[in-house]
Structure 1
């Protein structure tokens, strides 16, 4: 009986922690271990769909992952500040190029 109980507890623990080991925009949204941060990126003009965007943090260091998101509102600008939690993009603000951090 104890063996079955511990097996059930171990299985439940694995099922609850497994989603936090996978990083994508869906799991990062629910992950309580990730904090919301602001990063910056240069994006192509004349589009509002951004794929494989390499963002940098406030210190100018590249993020270890790329971001994909749809929903920009000004297709004529090319520098953005991204409020995100891992790969989940929460908010996009367009900024001037001089506000972009350099490495």
Structure 2
């Protein structure tokens, strides 16, 4: 899955929860999310802990560097995000962004 990381779409922002998220792409649809999730987790050295799939949203709990995150697909607007669940997770996101830019 080469060139699936558009560096221009990678951005970190605060969510309503106060935690940070890394916006990954708006170019992947609901059906392709599992392959994209596997691709991203391989690059970041992560693993899937649990999956919750709905009609318009998919929220998977993942473990990366001994820290838990949500890898989420939202259908409106379409976006895949890596969402922090803790202050420590917030601190990881800039390094993850840099790694993904490097590998894009």
The TM-score range, normalised by the shorter chain, is under 0.3
Q: Which TM-score applies when normalising by structure 1?
A: 0.27
> Which structure: larger Rg?
1
Higher strand fraction (1 or 2): 2
Q: Which TM-score applies when normalising by structure 2?
A: 0.26
